[in-house]
Amino acid sequence: MKLKDVFNVPNTITYIGFGLTILGLAILKLALISQNGLHWSWAIGILVSAAITDWLDGYIARKLHQATELGAQLDPLRDKLLLIGVVLILNVYWAIIAAIVEGVSAFFANRLKKIKGRIYITKASKTISVTQTFYGVVLLVVYTVGWDDKLFLSDFLFFIIIALSGARAVSYYKEIKSSK
């Protein structure tokens, strides 16, 4: 892999997204400990910015024809770091099930890579990733405002996230079967 591919515009945005995610998660943990409204506001702002970089890097990669194997591997990793980091900090244990289902999906995606010789990302798969990130941010906002029914909503959102992850795993599995 060439150095210019490692540091192209979309991959650089992905690296910035990783930094924002880690910083946002650290401030989220601080907000949870301190119960300081300013910390909550900073955490939400930084994590929303990280979520925006998730969309932006893919958009720019497609528009500038700068998609790389590295970017295709890092992007979903950052998505999962953001989502699972938020839910673990907020002690939402549905995250374990979500992580398992995502792991199955990643396994099938890796199998497709071996069959097709490239990272296989469909528009549906990318839409699912963006939707999962959006739900993670919604979940964070719900916890921040202290909504009384947050447990019901968090369960509902995690059900949707798990269902979407399962749908992605099934679509990858079907593609594997049709490729043989």
pLDDT digits (tens, 9 = 90+) for 10-65: 999 999 999 999 999 999 888 888 877 788 889 888 988 998 898 898 889 889 98
What pLDDT shows up at residue 23? 95
- In sequence order, which ranges of 36-122 are alpha helices (DSSP H)? 37-63, 69-89, 94-116
Residue 161 or residue 75, greater confidence: 75
pLDDT digits (tens, 9 = 90+) for 105-136: 777 776 666 766 766 666 666 777 777 777 77
Mean pLDDT calculated for residue range 72-80: 82
The span from the CA of 151 to the CA of 68, in Å, is: 39
Mean pLDDT calculated for residue range 73-92: 78
Assign residue 64 the CATH number of its domain: 1.20.120.1760
- Please give the C-alpha separations between residue 170 and each of 3, 107, 110, in angstroms, as whole numbers: 35, 11, 14
Average pLDDT, the chain: 78
Q: For the chain, what is the domain count?
A: 1
What pLDDT shows up at residue 94? 62
- Enclosing domain of residue 78: 3-179
Residues 6+ apart with CB under 8 A from 10: 57, 58, 60, 61, 64, 66, 67, 68, 71
What pLDDT shows up at residue 143? 67
Our measurement of the distance from residue 55's CA atom to the centroid of its chain's CA atoms, rounded to an integer in Å, reads 10
Residue position matching structure tokens 């990643």? 106
Q: Please say whether the dihedral angle defined by the alpha carbons of residues 122, 78, 107 and 98, taken in this order, is positive or negative.
A: negative
